[in-house]
Amino acid sequence: MALRPARPLPAARRRSTTKQLGKHKGNHEDGPNRKAYHVAYDDTKVGDADKLLELRGDPACVAQPDLAAAPCRLAPPGLPAAFYKAEWDVILVDAPTGYAPWSPGRMGAIYAAGMAARARRPGATTDVLVHDVDRPVEDRFSRAFLCEAYMVEQVGELRHFAVPSHRGRDAVPSHRGRDAVPPFCPHDEDTANA
């Protein structure tokens, strides 16, 4: 998952060795404020995608004001605190690997991108780009966690979403009951009302 905040902050990187990570710290050719972090995506596997997709309706994954403390299995552990504090203008999801059942897949990266976009200040929008949407996991998870209603366009294997902040929204419409899970996507509420 490559990240670009409103102001220069760290980027999360997956497949870097410690030596490569050290090379990026303070390297002015890459930018004076750039830092790299090793992020492990060991909690999910592509083979578990169907089960993980069901978490879309789980309150532990939906109603989370603090993604860093989310008990959701999709929330990647070990993301730096700077990731959660940043106001992201653009997030590019193009890692980790996801072409085989035993690989970690991009389920957690897509989920984290969607939650980070929703957590921005009210009125802000984050452009989220997902690569390899020709693959089933990237296709299904981007539609589910970034919302089809927020899809701007798709060009080849790259899909673009404009995800607005969900901060300040009424979390649960009164007609859905006190313990109802807030809708993850705009069309979810319409479906519940039908």
Q: Is the pLDDT higher at 169 or at 144? A: 144
Locate 67 and state its tokens. 């993604």
Query: For 59-106, what is each residue's pLDDT tens digit?
Result: 888 866 677 777 888 988 888 888 888 899 999 999 898 889 999 999
Q: Count of domains in the chain?
A: 1
Q: What is the pLDDT of residue 39?
A: 79
For residue 12, give the CATH number of its domain: 3.40.50
Q: What is the pLDDT of residue 90?
A: 95
Given pLDDT bands bounded at 50, 70 and 90, which one contains residue 136?
A: very high
Q: Does position 19 have pLDDT exceeding 50, yes or no? A: no
Q: What is the pLDDT of residue 99?
A: 87
- 120 by DSSP, 3-state: which? coil
**Full residue range of the structural domain in which residue 16 is found:** 2-193
The identity of residue 174, as a single letter, is: S
Q: Which parts of the chain fold into alpha helices (H)?
A: 18-24, 49-53, 59-62, 81-85, 107-118, 136-145, 186-193
Query: For 74-83, what is each residue's pLDDT tens digit?
Result: 988 888 888 8
* pTM greater than 0.95 (yes/no): no
Q: Does position 6 have pLDDT exceeding 90, yes or no? A: no
Residue 72 per-residue DSSP state: -
